[in-house]
Structure 1
């Protein structure tokens, strides 16, 4: 069998397991959509930084979808390790890269569907504009997804059991949800929290997604501030450059961690 055939098999298996597991379906797919309806919808008639506030939050929730995919992937990798699935696969001709490529590919398709749902609601119901730079949007989204996927693989190595996976994943989810500007601007946080919050792995992803969607440079906006200046495509890429570099730095760091921490066999016995 070829590498692509192995990856395709892992993709199909991960896809079926995801939709058959109610917990993973709720956390990995429905949670960002439900939060969008509950939190973003009441902001339809407000603005922040010169853009529709409901759309602003909806794009932030697109970033949060990457973290919920991280939660599911972490639990899945730990479960497969503890059930000896990874050990058996490693003993076959299936390349290790194909094992994770198929699993990450399935999660990536779920995130893409979420992006279409959240974006469709933002444009069709909230009145947000269409993305100003779809290419930049896809690049930031792909980079963010890869970052949190590799982070899940890395943290699986320090997660002792399937039951303890939520204890490892929840702090990451909560920190990113409330500290990375998903619901409210980071500039609105207390002074002593702004710099640490801006360095969280989701923060540059959310800033980059909003810049790509609305064509404005985000990061200093507040609920009471004026409109941010609009950017053309070239200046939009320049504004998103620091965010992309920070995402790349995080990705390089977690890639090194994943190589050192990943375990193919159960931690116990």
Structure 2
């Protein structure tokens, strides 16, 4: 991440008060002196009223620009789920699983996988900003800590939204999938899953010694989530002794519930050789999803506790 760009945002955010030199001088008196004294007060009041949204917006725009200018982050964070989906899902167009088209089934799984690539992006971004002392400088200004992370997480969330629209369009337009059966459950699950992996990225940044070491932390999470959470194939295709642990990984309940919300069927027990899953109404869809959403909430709470203990505003060394 560009330290110079970050620094300009810090200066713009923290320095928005009265013009430099508006001191009035020792001989100022009368209306001129009063106006001079009122300017910094008015500016400070404006910052108190509008500061947080402005700061969050500044961090959002900065993170958004840096993401698209970095080819590596653009490939991993945006293109990787789409390209993998095209490679994996296209050969499955003539097959079914659980009563739905297998290619559409896989595509919804890759929508969940997009949350993991956003995790990688956020982890790299937080560690890079910490190592470049950007976070330390921001903390020393009037920029609220919540605005710093709201902007960065908001930019990553906007990228995920673009991926959802692209992958969802492929699922409906190319693979013939129906529109989501329960859009509200789909959105709630997507937001819950995104928050889980965003908080996890902030937490694990505390265990990452440098930006160069970030891939060593992120890659195992990516591989476990991709191959152990039912993104490509149902968990029933795994060895019996691995199925129960796999169901409790952070991404597995997200993927299962996204599929339940999209197709209106109780996913989680499907298999390649099994029959079609029965259709369920919205109420039973939420009932089926309750356990998965609670598991996601538990993972998020655990990641938040870990983050409070591990997160650092300054580099781990030096």
- The TM-score with structure 2 as length reference comes to 0.84
In structure 1, which of residues 14, 23, 29 is the aligned counterpart of residue 78 of structure 2?
A: 29
Highest relative contact order (Cα 8 Å, sep 6+), 1 or 2?
1
- Report deviation, 1:183: 0.3
Partner of 1:253: 302
Partner of 1:111: 160
SS class of match (1:266): coil
Partner of 2:194: 145
In structure 2, which of residues 60, 74, 94 is the aligned counterpart of residue 45 of structure 1?
A: 94
Q: Does 1:100 align with 2:149?
A: yes
Partner of 1:71: 120
- The TM-score with structure 1 as length reference comes to 0.99
SS class of match (2:212): coil
What do residues 126-183 of structure 1 show as CA deviations (whole Å, max 9, x unaligned)?
0111100111100000000000000000000010000000000000000000000000
RMSD: 0.5
In 2, the alpha carbon distance for the partners of 1:94 and 1:40 equals 45
- Report deviation, 1:29: 0.3
Q: Which aligned pairs between 1:210-225 and structure 2 lie closer than 5 A? A: 210-225=259-274
In 2, the alpha carbon distance for the partners of 1:220 and 1:161 equals 41
In structure 2, which of residues 58, 63, 71 is the aligned counterpart of residue 14 of structure 1?
A: 63
In 2, the alpha carbon distance for the partners of 1:137 and 1:45 equals 25
In 1, the alpha carbon distance for the partners of 2:308 and 2:142 equals 20
Count how many residue pairs are aligned between Structure 1 and Structure 2: 269
Q: Does 1:54 align with 2:103?
A: yes
In structure 2, which of residues 151, 174, 177 is the aligned counterpart of residue 125 of structure 1?
A: 174
What do residues 34-92 of structure 1 show as CA deviations (whole Å, max 9, x unaligned)?
01111001111110000010000000000000000000110110000000000000000
Partner of 2:44: none
- Report deviation, 1:23: 0.4
Partner of 2:133: 84
Instruction: Give unmatched runs, 5+ long, in structure 2.
Output: 1-46
- Report deviation, 1:112: 0.5
Partner of 1:241: 290
In 2, the alpha carbon distance for the partners of 1:128 and 1:103 equals 33
